Structure 1
Amino acid sequence: MCFSAGASFTGSAILSVIGTLTLKKVSKPSQIVFASIPIFFAFQQFVEGVLWLVLPNTEYIAIEKAATYIFLVMAQVCWPLLIPISVLLMEESGKRRIILYILLGIGIIVALYYGCGLLFQHPHAQIKSYHIQYQAFTPTASAITFFFLYLVAAVVPLFVLSTKKIYILGMLMLLSGVVTVIFFTQFVTSVWCFFAALMSVVIYYIIKSSKKTL
């Protein structure tokens, strides 16, 4: 997570357990990707834990670069794709699926935008004010637009899905995103992923609840 190596590794371990328990509650194959989200967050937080360890030591520059790229690919490329895909797989309503396909299209555009930035630029991470700050080049004129589109792709699908109680996760994601932008402007990537990782615990209860209604 965004505060220390210990917090990152502890969070990773807890999320791994929660993710495993969530997968055991899956009642339909269509829920597997959504139920796996805590596992993905566990891996991401493990990678950030590695960054906490290697950033103060210049002799580990190769590991630092690899971990930085892996974390940013997860944060900026995977999530705007994984969220709408996982929700789309679970939705059965034709009208809602059309909306979700549109949101997935937005997610693809966002993923390509950030993916190209990571491919052609040289992002790096640094420890600053007890957080990890990720710096990657993005054109100023389009940065705000694509961050908004990122929010649309990663959050709005949670309000579209007809599965019971999933809107709670959407509300928490949206609220945490706003709080992060306002109070942690320089550390949005790390801090929002921290909040999102914590909130992925809700997925366990969503999957468990959906199993009871079958």
Structure 2
Amino acid sequence: MCFSASASFGAAIVLSVISVGTIKNIQHTSHFYFAGIPLIFCLQQASEGFLWLSLTNSSYASLQQPMTYIFLFFAQILWPTWIPFALLKLEKSTKRKKFESILLLIGILVSCYQLYLLIGFPSEAKIIGHHILYQHDYPVRFGNYGDLLYFSATIIPTFISSIKRMWLLGLFITIAYVITALLYTKHVISVWCFFASIISILILFILQGIKNKDKQISDFAKV
């Protein structure tokens, strides 16, 4: 998380518990990708916990570079593809699937470009103002278009989805991102993940709704 190693590891523990709940609510293999989001958040927070240790304790200095790149892999490369793919796997509406497939393609393009940047240009992490600041020597030509495409791939699918209450997830993520961008302009990547636990609880809530709906359909079919 954004405040300390203990906060990051604490968040990872909470997320691991939530991930057990989401995985238990998997009814079909198509649910796995959505249910796995809290577990990925857990690994992401754990990586930042080790990064905090490497930045504050010279005994862990060797972990600084690998943990920086592991965290950035989750934040910048994995999510733009994983989230739209996870929602596409849940979707049953053919019409909505077409729109979500387009957003998935956008996400894949964003991920590929971010991977190119992460491999081709140096990145480093520093502690500034009780937060981790990730600094990149990326070319600026992508600029705000990158943020817009990232947002399109990760947020818009939640509003398009036919899954009940999925829009709540999108609304919360949007509000969380706006608050973070306004209050912690230079620390968005790190501070935004503060909301990962609440996002994961919403995912559990949505999966339970899907499970209950499937059970009702199954019970009705038996009548």
Could you say which TM-score interval applies, normalised by the shorter chain? over 0.9
Q: Partner residue of 1:62?
A: 62
1:60 positional shift: 3.8
Paired with 2:152 and 2:60, the residues of 1 have a C-alpha distance of 37
Q: Give 1:197 shift.
A: 4.2
2:139 & 2:98 partners in 1: Cα distance? 31
Deviations 1:16-68 (A, max 9, x none): 01001111011122111101100000000000000111112456443100000
- Provide the residue aligned with 1:84 in structure 2: 84
Question: What amino acid is the match of 1:203?
Answer: I
Percent identity of paired positions between Structure 1 and Structure 2: 40
- How many corresponding residue pairs? 214
User: After the TM superposition, which parts of structure 1 deviate over 6 Å for at least 4 consecutive aligned residues?
Assistant: none
Distance, in Å, in 1 between the alignment partners of 2:66 and 2:88 is: 31
Q: Which amino acid aligns with 1:63?
A: L
TM-score by length of 1: 0.96
C-alpha distance in 1 between matches for 2:196 and 2:109 = 22
- Structure 2 gaps of 5+ residues are 215-223
Aligned pairs for 1:114-133 within 5 A: 114-133=114-133
User: How far, CA to CA, are the matches of 1:42 and 1:153 in structure 2?
Assistant: 21
Q: For residues 67 and 15 of structure 1, what CA distance do their matches in structure 2 show?
A: 19
Q: SS state of the match for residue 144, structure 2?
A: helix
**Aligned twin of 2:150:** 150
Question: Is the contact made by 2:14 and 2:197 (CA closer than 8 Å) also made in structure 1?
Answer: no
SS in 1 for 2:133: strand
Separation in structure 2 between the aligned mates of residue 185 and residue 116 of structure 1, nearest angstrom: 24
Write out per-residue CA displacement over residues 171-191 of structure 1, whole angstroms, 9 at most, x where no aligned residue: 001111111111111001111
The one-letter amino acid of 1:133's match is L
Q: Tell me which residue corresponds to 1:168.
A: 168
The Cα RMSD (Å) is 1.2
Unmatched 5+ stretches in structure 1: none
Per-residue CA deviation, residues 84-107 of structure 1 (Å, 9 max, x unaligned), is: 010011111111111011001110
Distance (whole Å) between structure 2 residues aligned to residue 190 and residue 30 of structure 1: 30
- Kept after mapping to 1: 8 A contact 2:54/2:62: no
Q: Which residue of 1 aligns with 2:35?
A: 35
Q: Match of 2:136?
A: 136
